[in-house]
Amino acid sequence: MLSFGGSVSYDYRPTRSSLHTITPLRISFNKLRNPTEEFNQVVEQNPILFLSLKDQFVPAMSYTYTYENVMRNRTNSRDRIWWETSVTEAGNILSSVYALNGRKYGEADKTIFGNTFAQFIKVTNEFRYSRRIDRNNTFVTRIMAGAIYSYGNASVAPFNEQFYIGGANSIRAYTIRSIGPGRFKPDRSSVYSYIDQMGDVKFEANIEHRFRLLGDLYGAAFLDAGNVWILSNSEESKRPGGHISESNFPADLALGTGFGMRYDMDFLVVRLDLGIALHNPSSESSNYFNAPFMRSGNYGLHLAIGYPF
C-alpha cells in the first residue's frame, strides 16, 4: 500500500506547559498496489478487511492538546505529568458539500476524483506520570485509550487509521498485531492472520520501575495490560469475540510482565526488553494465568531505541 499526501498545522503555546496543535487540512491518498491472487483470496474471506484496504482519500482535520508540567531541561522535580488528547475527523466537509447538492448526508459511495473518501471521527487520550524516588530509581505509569467510529460514506476506517497492540512500545509480551481484537482467536496456520488483528477501540496501561545498575546502564521491571476491540458485532466482520463488551472487558485485557536493560547516553537510549505473557484473552483455558512461558507466542524480545513511554 502507498499512502501519500500533506498537511498544514498551526502550533500555539500559551504557557511553557501547554501546547495546542490545530491541523485544518490533512489530505492523504491510500493506494493498494499490485494485489496478488493469494492476497485476493485472503480479503475475499474477510470483506471488512477489504473495505479498509481499498483505494480511498482521507481528507481530515484535527486538534491536539499537549500538557507537560515539567520542561525537559529541569531535573529537580520528582513528579512529571504528560497528557495528550487528540480529536480527528475526516470526510464531513465533503459530505456536507454533497448534501448541499441533494445527496443524503449519510449516504455511501460518494467519491472525489473517482475514488471514495473516508468518513470517521477518531479520539485518543494518553496520560503519563513518573515519580523519581531517588537518583537511581523511578516509577513510570502510562494509560492510553482511543476510539475510531466510521459512518456515512465509509463503514470501515482505513487500515492505517485503526488501532493495534503489542510490540516494543506497547504490551511487550506480544509482538505487533499478535493479540486481539478482544478474545478473537486467529487462524495461526495462515501467515496473514495478523492483518485481522486490528480494532476500532484501544485501551492500554503500563507500569515500569527503572533503576540504575552501573553508570549509564539501567534495568527495568514492567507490567503491561491492554487490548483492541471492534465496535461492530456483525457476521460480516468474521472475528467472533472481537467486539467490545462491558461484561467481558476485564477478561479481554491481555496481561504481560518482564524485565529489560537500557544503556542511556543522554542523547540516545538503547533498550532490550523481554516480555513474558501472563494472560492471553484468546486462550480457551479456564485459568486466568493461561500463557505458558515456553510456548511460542507467549513471550517477546524487543531491541529498540528510546524509552517505551
Statement: residue 60 has pLDDT above 70: yes
**How does DSSP classify residue 230?**
B
Q: Is 257 helix (H, G, I), strand (E, B) or coil?
A: strand
Report the range of poorest mean pLDDT among 76-80, 99-103, 206-210, 241-245: 99-103
For residue 274, the model assigns a pLDDT of 95
Give the integer Cα–Cα distance in Å for 127 and 129: 7
**Distances from the Cα of 145 to the Cαs of 86, 122, 160, 299, in angstroms?**
11, 11, 17, 24
- Number of other residues whose CB lies within 10 A of the CB of residue 176: 17
Report the mean per-residue pLDDT for the chain: 87
Condensed to tens digits (0 to 9), the pLDDT of residues 78-106 reads 889 999 999 999 988 888 887 777 766 66
| 147 backbone dihedrals φ, ψ, rounded to 5° | -150, 145
Domain span at residue 188 reads 2-305
Query: b or e along 199-218 (b: 16 or more beta carbons within 10 Å of the residue's beta carbon)?
Result: bbbbbbbbbbebebeeeeeb
Statement: residue 64 has pLDDT above 60: yes
Q: Provide the domain count of the chain.
A: 1
Condensed to tens digits (0 to 9), the pLDDT of residues 44-56 reads 777 677 777 778 8
CATH of the domain at 287: 2.40.160.50
Give the integer Cα–Cα distance in Å for 182 and 200: 11
For residue 73, the model assigns a pLDDT of 47
For residue 56, the model assigns a pLDDT of 84
Question: pLDDT category, 278, cuts 50, 70, 90?
Answer: very high
User: What's the Rg (C-alpha) of the chain?
Assistant: 21
